[in-house]
């Protein structure tokens, strides 16, 4: 049986949909709106008064410019800080190990390979001056925050011998930095999912309430006018319940779009159901057996792989491969290579400056 033939069988016998149980909310990646709001609030008064802490003179001017005419610097990697909850609009949860998590790992793998050649460089990342999250009113210290290029930075950090990374400096407002991060990710070779785009657009909608240009900013992110109207309706409904006291000790920033979209029907939060996952796995395997019997076990491995990739799509197929690779590495220390380097440099849950000299 050719890959085309058995892929056609898969179309006839649709696999069951995954279980729709709700995952327990994890603050590390679920409070994106709140994190964006905190980032903007923390940096709203950042001005050139902190020029004495700028320290960009420590960066090496390459003499080159990007397509926008911005100077490209070589920046010491330890000088860079990231805040993925505010400036990385992707739902890659290392705890839940979702599909986006494995797609991102595979994307970093692709970025990493050219760096094996010491003469090769990736496209410059974008950085901006930000106030350190642990600063106080009496002791405000700034640092260099990654706006765009988190995956490229992880690829550089996992490459032996790389101590600097090409970067351009963004001197705009914190809100503009957030919008730039979103737009840059929309253009990235690892495209944002529809869910990520909606979730991020909602976050921007919330933090820009009362700010001139809110409507244009949201529409520029690719959101339809109908979705924007839905944002307004749910925002009004939730904020009215907060003001009336129906929602006690609650802030609008605590509502991500999935939660806001389903309000007020979403007030029940059931825990993750492992049995539902196991049941789904069994159901999928039974569907496959009903369609193919034992023929797939004896078929050509390459044809099966090509057929699965065509049926599932490249991103999902590569995510599956990445999941298996990680399982193998975990079970066999001899397979550990660059994967452990990337894990070692995984983004910290709390964005902290890692080098005090910059």
**pLDDT (tens digit, 0 to 9) for every residue of the chain, 358 residues total?**
454 454 444 444 454 555 543 333 333 344 578 889 989 988 887 765 555 566 788 899 999 999 889 999 999 998 898 888 888 766 555 445 556 677 778 888 889 999 999 899 999 999 999 987 766 666 667 889 999 999 999 999 988 889 999 999 998 889 999 999 888 876 555 667 788 888 889 999 999 988 888 999 999 888 899 999 999 999 999 999 999 999 888 899 999 998 999 998 765 444 445 667 778 888 888 888 888 888 877 778 888 888 888 888 877 777 777 777 666 655 555 444 444 444 444 444 333 344 444 5
Distance (Å, whole) CA 177 – CA 43: 11
- This prediction's pTM: 0.66
What's the pLDDT at 282? 84
pLDDT of 120: 92
Where would I find the H helices in the chain?
Answer: 3-12, 27-30, 32-43, 84-87, 99-112, 150-157, 174-187, 194-207, 214-220, 225-244, 257-261, 274-292, 295-298, 301-312, 314-331, 338-344
Which is nearest to 13 in space by CA: 314, 283, 315, 299?
283
Question: Strands across the sheet with 80-81, in order?
Answer: 60-65, 71-76, 164-170, 125-131, 142-148, 80-81
CA distance 108 to 194: 21
CA angle 68, 69, 75 (to 5 degrees): 100
Quickly count: other Cβ atoms within 10 Å of residue 259's Cβ.
18
C-alpha angle 334/335/339, rounded to 5°? Answer: 130
How many C-beta neighbours within 10 Å does residue 75 have? 26
How many whole angstroms separate alpha carbon 252 and alpha carbon 239?
Answer: 7
């Amino acid at each position: 049986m050719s890959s085309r033939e058995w892929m056609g069988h898969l179309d006839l016998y649709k696999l069951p949909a995954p279980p729709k149980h709700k995952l327990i909310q994890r603050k590390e990646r679920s409070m994106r709106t709140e994190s964006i709001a905190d980032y903007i609030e923390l940096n709203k008064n950042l001005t050139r008064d902190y020029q004495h802490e700028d320290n960009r003179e420590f960066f090496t001017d390459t003499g080159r410019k990007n397509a926008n005419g911005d100077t490209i610097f070589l920046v010491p990697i330890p000088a860079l800080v990231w805040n993925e909850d505010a400036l990385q609009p992707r739902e890659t949860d290392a705890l839940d190990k979702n599909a986006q998590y494995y797609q991102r790992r595979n994307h970093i793998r692709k970025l990493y390979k050219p760096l094996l050649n010491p003469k090769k460089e990736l496209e410059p990342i974008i950085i901006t001056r930000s106030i350190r999250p642990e600063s106080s009113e009496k002791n405000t210290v700034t640092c260099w925050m990654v706006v765009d290029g988190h995956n490229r930075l992880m690829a550089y950090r996992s490459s032996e011998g790389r101590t600097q990374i090409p970067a351009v400096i963004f001197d705009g407002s914190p809100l503009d930095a957030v919008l730039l991060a979103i737009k840059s990710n929309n253009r990235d070779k690892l495209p944002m999912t529809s869910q990520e785009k909606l979730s991020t657009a909602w976050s921007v909608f919330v933090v820009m309430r009362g700010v001139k240009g809110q409507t244009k900013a949201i529409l520029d992110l690719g959101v339809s006018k109908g979705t924007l109207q839905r944002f307004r309706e749910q925002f009004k409904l939730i904020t009215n319940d907060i003001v009336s006291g129906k929602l006690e000790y609650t802030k609008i920033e605590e509502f991500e779009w999935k939660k806001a979209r389903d309000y007020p029907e979403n007030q029940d939060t059931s825990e993750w159901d492992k049995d539902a996952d196991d049941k789904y796995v069994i159901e999928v395997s039974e569907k496959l057996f009903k369609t193919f019997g034992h023929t797939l076990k004896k078929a050509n491995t390459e044809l099966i792989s090509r057929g699965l990739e065509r049926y599932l799509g490249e991103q999902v197929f590569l995510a599956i491969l990445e999941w298996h690779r990680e399982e193998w590495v975990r079970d066999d220390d001899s397979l550990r290579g660059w994967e452990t380097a990337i894990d070692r440099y995984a983004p910290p849950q709390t964005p902290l400056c890692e080098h005090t000299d910059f």
